[in-house]
Amino acid sequence: MPDIDRIRRIRAEDPALIGEALRTRRRRPLLGGDGRLFIIAADHPARGSLGVGARGFAMGSRVSLLERLAAALERPGVDGVLGTPDIIEDLALMGVLDDKVVVGSMNRGGLQGASFEMDDRFTAYTVPSMVRDGIDLGKLLVRVNLQDAGTASVLESSAAAVSAAAAERLPVMLEPFMSCWHDGRIVNDLSTDAVVRSVAIAAGLGDSSAYTWLKLPVVADMARVAEAATMPTLLLGGDPTSAQDEVFASWQNALALPGMRGLVVGRTLLYPHDDDVVAAVDIAASLVHGTVGAAAAARAR
């Protein structure tokens, strides 16, 4: 159970301890012995995206979210967490980031449902701040909308971030989508052709791709997606819109393809339909690492 009163007290009375907690945590190599990564994602709230399925404000309680994250990070096979600074700093004060990979979300300014939704300027971590705080991996969204001229500035700023990260030897994970306006909102095209095109665009960003990773959705023909680039790739979990066993099976199949290094999953595991976070996380960990308990692996099949 997170000590929320302590976190609130430090934020009010001694905020310098926040940076100290991050910079003095015990760090680990990005990849372990099996070369795989399983990251729990918690960057949704900063985008104003608080719903999970029919629960419109499931992620509206920071206390509940931190409890679920702490439970997930304690499980074997969970390598780390993805979040914006507010989430990462809370977790650092809780002392749960030792020996974990910390992925810093650069976030996006284009909030869901806003008239400026395609204005994906960065609003959270920067490359210098990630270097300062000892963040292990950066993450940024790259939505490409051929109907919106604002995409040009998004690509320019994304390329600059990739270049800056490469100069610091900081791995950075790009999450690309081909997107379009539909009835006043942005919709991501999850066809195989669109994902392959988005990968080609993202792979070419920046003055070096040496430290570029990809974060991609699981779509119909993942074999084609796996052939679209040579960068290490993590699979995103997406929204929990289908039966959990079907989702796990799709992840398992995709993880078997060349270049697929693991999973980045958030709401599907933190807010499963039965609220059993530990069971859901254990199954996903078994899919990534293959060594996290016979019971979990049996359930995954």
What CATH number does the domain containing 12 carry?
3.20.20.70
What is the pLDDT confidence band of residue 164, given thresholds at 50, 70 and 90?
Answer: very high
What is the per-residue pLDDT across 53-84, written as a single tens digit (0 to 9) for each?
778 788 889 999 999 999 999 999 999 999 99
Mean per-residue pLDDT over the chain, rounded: 90
Among 221-230, 235-244, 287-296, top mean pLDDT goes to 221-230
Kindly indicate the confidence band of residue 257, based on its pLDDT and cuts at 50, 70 and 90. very high
Total-model pTM: 0.90
Q: 197: pLDDT confidence band, cut at 50, 70 and 90?
A: very high
- pLDDT score recorded for residue 296: 43
Instruction: Average the pLDDT over 282-289 and give the result.
Output: 95
Q: Which residue would you say has higher pLDDT here, 38 or 290?
A: 38
Residues 127-159 have pLDDT tens digits of 999 999 999 999 999 999 998 888 999 899 999
Q: Per the structure, how many domains does the chain have? A: 1
Average pLDDT over residues 171-177: 97
Higher pLDDT, 226 or 299: 226
**Does the pLDDT value for residue 229 go beyond 50?**
yes
> By residue range, what is the domain housing residue 182?
4-300
Does residue 238 register a pLDDT over 80? no
Q: Are 266 and 294 in contact (CB under 8 A)?
A: no
